Amino acid sequence: MAEPLVRLRGVDKAYVDHVVTPVLHGIDLTVLPGEFIALTGPSGSGKSTLLNLIGLLDRPTAGEVYLEGRATSALNDAELTRLRARRLGFVFQFHHLLPAFTAVENVELPMLADRGRRDPELRARAARLLESIGLGDRMPYLAPDLSGGQQPRVAIARAHAGDPPQVLADEPTGNLDTESGRQVLELVRRINRERHTAFIIVTHDERIAHQCDRIVHLVDGRIVGDDAP
């Protein structure tokens, strides 16, 4: 059996703001290389919180998050940032493309941040990624000049720029029309199959969930289902 990319054991998460608000309770979850997972559940069930913990954007209140066999609780913030940059990709509902940057600059940015200096190969890789998803002619376009269907595709290329073994996507089709959403899902599925990249996709859309290989369902901060669709 392959080494898990992510393993959560007994993970709790609570927020403290005058009162303690528990969000996640006793989460046990394993993600293997190449998996294509939907994370579902009603609003307030803890989906985004769980995704943030898997993505090392937040720390659990209790329990442990292992990334590729490495316990992350003992890492400091700088070590978590480096690990996150090199081993994880992120796609958000609102894409978060930088408006003053072109499409190719947005894709290049995470590689540049990791390398710490400019390198012609980084720009060339960003250009190849855009070419591979049919947006080669949009490389010089500023982010606001891209269409609503093109922006999420650029965001997916950016998430994949460092060739991470897994990508976390929070409602990546939530603001898209049906056709644009279909194109985005086809793109991430293609990357999953061709590059063996694992995807965890938070979604409220049952149609998207049932195109995934595994559905993890949260209710009130607990995993109540983990099955094939």
pLDDT (0 to 100) of residue 48: 92
Kindly report the pTM of this predicted structure.
Answer: 0.90
Which domains, ranges and CATH numbers included, belong to the chain? 34-59+76-227 (3.40.50.300)
178 closest CA partner among 198, 158, 208: 208
Find out whether 58 and 49 touch, Cβ atoms under 8 Å: yes
Question: In whole angstroms, what separates CA 55 from the centre of its chain?
Answer: 7
Q: Is the pLDDT of residue 176 over 80?
A: no
How large a percentage of the chain has pLDDT more than 90? 65
Q: Which residues lie closer than 8 Å to 23 by C-beta, 6 or more apart?
A: 13, 14, 15, 46, 49, 221
d(CA 209, CA 229): 8
Decide: residue 175, CB within 10 A, 0-12 exposed, 13-18 middle, 19+ buried. middle
pLDDT (0 to 100) of residue 137: 93
Mean pLDDT estimate for the chain:
91
How large a percentage of the chain has pLDDT more than 70? 100
pLDDT band at 114 (very low <50, low <70, confident <90, very high): confident
3-state secondary structure of 62: strand
Per-residue CA distances from 189 to 135, 185, 198 (Å): 17, 6, 10
| Residue 25, phi then psi, degrees to nearest 5 | -135, 115
pLDDT (0 to 100) of residue 1: 64
Which residue has tokens 């990319």?
5
pLDDT (0 to 100) of residue 149: 84
Higher pLDDT, 107 or 115: 107
pLDDT in tens, 51-89: 999 999 999 999 999 999 999 999 999 999 889 888 999
d(CA 61, CA 14): 6
